[in-house]
Amino acid sequence: ILMNKKILICTGGTGGHVIPAVNFGNFLINKGFECSLILDKRGNKFSNNFMGKVFIIRSSHLSGNIFYKFNSLINLSIGLIQSLFFLNKIKPNICISFGSYATFMPLTALFFYKLFRNINLYLHEQNSVAGKVNLFFLPFTDSFFTNFEEVINLPEKYKKKKIYVGLPSDKRVNRDITQIENTSKKLILIYGGSQGAKNLINNFLLLIKTININELKKLKFIIQCPKKLEVSIEKYLLYLKVDYQIETFFYDIDNILSKTHIAITRAGAGTINDLIRHQVPSIIFPLPNSIYDHQYYNAKFLLDKKACIVLNEITFKLDDYSKDFNKLITDKKYFENMKESISKIILPDTNELILKTILNKNNE
């Protein structure tokens, strides 16, 4: 019955929102469904792999000075008109939204659209703390899909809508442990997600100075680095004679993670799922200014299972960082215990679970 229906996916902003949406959309298309994507210009750069039609709207958040807010309101108004136009063009029966400020206007337009056409709305929350847009539209959703088992700020009256499904991925990963053990050097990944991480890199550069020279020779560092920092960091690493590779963005992150021994990362939902899928022990610096401190709670999911080390960037102490890192690279039992802890976390088959729920709801 659902095969004849058109599915719209709303997303935008960062890769953390867009990539899971693209993964689920491609899964639907491979299953024979007609699926379209609405997102903003910022999020569009992460949608290259999407196999369906992509519609781009104007969008903005409302933080900043009065001039910025005024400009944002103009962009949001244009985004609303664009969303209405695209909704009328696509004529979807089902809408699935993956959060981000960029989904606010398409979901607002959906209310006008619902006056003339029946449409079912589903929301997906990637973080362990629900975002503002998802919280706003919670009363109007059929089901609230979550990446984490617990969403700490979910109002009691909406808990019956919550369905734990995990995060949509493009494939099931089987980590080849022998691939790691046969490499001559330990691979350390410094990875800030789709937005990069200047402070993460600066802290890492301080860390390198504390590593014993003989241990340093046994390591290779793969670093995600914003373009503007690349030259100065390369100069510093060459001076220290460190084995390294620098990229501004990882388009083959699964390939890199499949060979990684230890990751130094942020705590975006996608990153946490990547670490679990590839069973990578990690040192995590949650982004300190993340909305509702959601990155801390994402990281806490692994920390509670003894599957990572979490350090606070605000109260950062180099001695603690150095001790934790050196223990991970030199204490084999400590490393193996952390790897075993993370290997016990079982991720659900997200794409199938979401589709099964939608099919059941639409056949009721």
pLDDT in tens, 223-263: 988 888 888 888 888 888 889 998 887 777 888 999 999 99
Question: How far apart, in whole angstroms, are the C-alpha atoms of residue 260 and residue 339?
Answer: 12
Q: What is the pLDDT of residue 181?
A: 47
Q: What is the reported pTM?
A: 0.86
Q: Helix or strand or coil: residue 330?
A: helix
Any idea how long the chain is? 364
Amino acid (1-letter code) at residue 352: E
The amino acid at 342: I
Enumerate residue ranges in the chain where pLDDT < 50. 175-182
Q: Residue 268: how many CA atoms within 13 Å on its side-chain side?
A: 18
The pLDDT tens digits for 40-68 are 999 999 999 999 999 999 998 877 788 88
Q: Where are the alpha helices (DSSP H) in 65-197?
A: 66-90, 104-114, 132-137, 177-181
For 197-238, the DSSP string reads -HHHHHHHHHHHTTS-HHHHTTEEEEEE--GGGHHHHHHHHH
Residue 116 C-alpha from the chain's centroid = 35
For 334-361, the DSSP string reads HHHHHHHHHHTPPPP-HHHHHHHHHHHH
Are the beta carbons of 35 and 28 closer than 8 angstroms? yes
